[in-house]
Amino acid sequence: MTNRHLAYALARITLGINFLGHGLVRLPKLEGFRNWMVKLFEGTMMPPSLVAPFATILPFIEFALGMFLIIGLFTRQSLVACAVLMMILLFGTCLREAWDAAGSQMLYALYIALLLFFIEYNAMAIDTRKRTSDY
């Protein structure tokens, strides 16, 4: 195990905790979160008929992606899903003209891209254990 493997695992797990935490705190108050999101998009071109279902499934997606990243299962696919999710969130943030939040989301996107770029260091993960046991 190299320092690069350890650094990658720590970075991947940290992102996983972030996503898991987002989902975890929103799940118990799902209706309130959904209503907040719908209200947030009032006055934008995003109709409530799209915002409400997205806000309903978002915490489940965040929770699942966080779990996968923490344990290192489907790491590549989870990172791609995280990147797509950030694109969707960024689009919504731009519609709201919330440029400070957009900057923060761009940092998430960069972090995710770097994890994907350096995925060969993903040695401390279930993915890697599954691959090595297949040979």
| Eight-class DSSP state of 120 | G
Residue ranges, the chain, pLDDT below 50: 134-135
pLDDT computed for residue 131 by the predictor:
61
Cβ within 8 Å of residue 25, ≥6 positions away = none
Ranges of each domain in the chain: 3-133
Distance CA 124, CA 116 (A): 15
pLDDT computed for residue 132 by the predictor:
55
Distance CA 118, CA 22 (A): 24
pLDDT computed for residue 135 by the predictor:
39
Residue 116 has phi, psi (to 5 degrees) of -70, -40
Whether 107 contacts 3, CB under 8 Å: no
pLDDT computed for residue 1 by the predictor:
85
| Residue 63 CB neighbour total at 10 angstroms | 19
